[in-house]
Amino acid sequence: MNVDEMLSGARDAMTVKRVYGDPIERDGMLVIPAAKVIGGGGGGGGGAEGGGAGFAVRATPAGAWIIRDGTVSWEPAVDATRIATTGMLVAIVFLWTIRSIAKAQAKAKMAGR
């Protein structure tokens, strides 16, 4: 793949269609889904050996624009995995803190004897 082909692919990948989905109309309401899109690429040459290039795109749901009765509102997407992971990390840090306090108290108690 040459650089021109990679740049063409990057241009095609990073369009507004990647951020906003096709509008969905149902029961007098219009929903326009939206995503967070991140992309990056790189390339290099190795002289006579040739070169290489690559490009990647990552998209995650962000939410949706809701149009109902002439009123527009934003409904954010809920990432349950991120919420659960954050909750687990907070619990682990809490337990480590309690453990450290208990060890320090036990050590102080033993030194006081």
pLDDT at 72: 95
Decide: 79 and 60 in contact? Cβ < 8 Å.
yes
Residue type, 32: I
**Has this prediction a pTM greater than 0.85?**
no
Q: Residue 64, Cβ neighbours under 10 Å: how many? A: 20
Q: What is the pLDDT of residues 70-102, one digit of tens each?
A: 999 999 998 888 899 999 999 999 999 999 999
For residue 43, pLDDT beyond 70: yes
What average pLDDT is seen over the chain? 84
For residue 15, pLDDT beyond 70: no
**What residues are paired with 30 via a beta bridge?**
25, 67
Q: Which two tokens stand for residue 19?
A: 């951020």
Q: Which two tokens stand for residue 96?
A: 């480590």
SS3 35: strand
Question: pLDDT-derived band of residue 54, with 50, 70 and 90 as boundaries?
Answer: confident
Higher per-residue confidence, 105 vs 45: 105
CA pair distance 40, 72, nearest whole angstrom: 32
For residue 60, give every residue at least 6 positions away whose Cβ sits within 8 Å of its Cβ, in sequence order, or none. Answer: 35, 36, 77, 79
DSSP-assigned states of every residue in 6-22: HHHHHHHHSSHHHHB--
Q: What is the pLDDT of residues 20-36, one digit of tens each?
A: 889 999 989 999 999 98
